[in-house]
Amino acid sequence: MTTLRLGDIAPDFTQESSVGPISFHQWLGDSWGILFSHPSDFTPVCTTELGATAKLADEFKKRNVKAIALSVDPVDSHLSWIKDINETQSTTVNFPILADADKKVSNLYDLIHPNASTTATVRSVFVIDPNKKIRLTLTYPASTGRNFDEILRVIDSLQLTEYHSVATPANWKDGDDVVIVPSITDPEVLKTKFPKGFKAIKPYLRLTPQPNK
């Protein structure tokens, strides 16, 4: 089994889902995407996670991000579970849940870790850019729910750093100062790219206001 690494092309697949068959790359189109896996349907932590994702629909849309979940249970199970999620989390699930009963996608994305469980998928998250490249991977144990504020924060960082010559420091949040990448040293380029100026703490550590704010 090949381990997926940052910069790899996210494997394409066609699989059944709660909204019908999905061809993954075609479904993503020109959007960013998050693919996140769940150990199984009708489990408490997963129920809260899918509810949280549904409530963040506007935040994902603002960032041109499509969300898609996965569980190894079949479609009819997903449809019943969605009713429970909507009821208990006071929301409406508005994204597909892949029905990976044959574990095709789970195997492509290495989501079953035998030393944790031989049948249930781990809680993994993949952030995928419009070029279908994997830009982030996170894997949680089955007992720990994901922090969706952190997932949004990373997406904000990835989208910012994709188009501006900056990186984001520890605990950065949208609107905070950012770091100028060390490769830019020409004073004229610095003036052009960072008209708000910057503070040089060390030659390699230069803080500047977030360029797109």
Q: CATH classification of 14-146 is 3.30.9.10, yes or no?
A: no
Placement of tokens 């994305």 in the chain: 109
- Residue 118: predicted pLDDT: 47
pLDDT of residue 110: 84
Tell me the domain boundaries of the chain.
14-146, 164-208
CATH topology of domain 164-208: Antioxidant, Horf6; Chain A, domain 2 (3.30.1020)
Catalytic residue (one of 22, 46, 70, 98)? 46
46 is catalytic: yes
For residue 70, what are the CA distances in angstroms to 12, 48, 67? 14, 15, 10
Per-10-residue mean pLDDT, the chain, length 213? 85 96 98 91 92 97 97 93 96 96 89 56 87 94 89 96 94 96 93 94 95 89
d(CA 81, CA 184): 51
In order, the DSSP letters of 63-113 are: TTEEEEEEESS-HHHHHHHHHHHHHHHTS---S-EEE-TT-HHHHHTT---
pLDDT at 18: 96
Helices and strands counted in the chain (H then E): 7, 11
Contact between 148 and 52 under an 8 Å Cβ cutoff? The reply is yes
Instruction: Tell me whether strands 65-71 and 32-37 are parallel, antiparallel or unpaired.
Output: parallel
Amino acid 123: pLDDT? 77
pLDDT of residue 68: 97
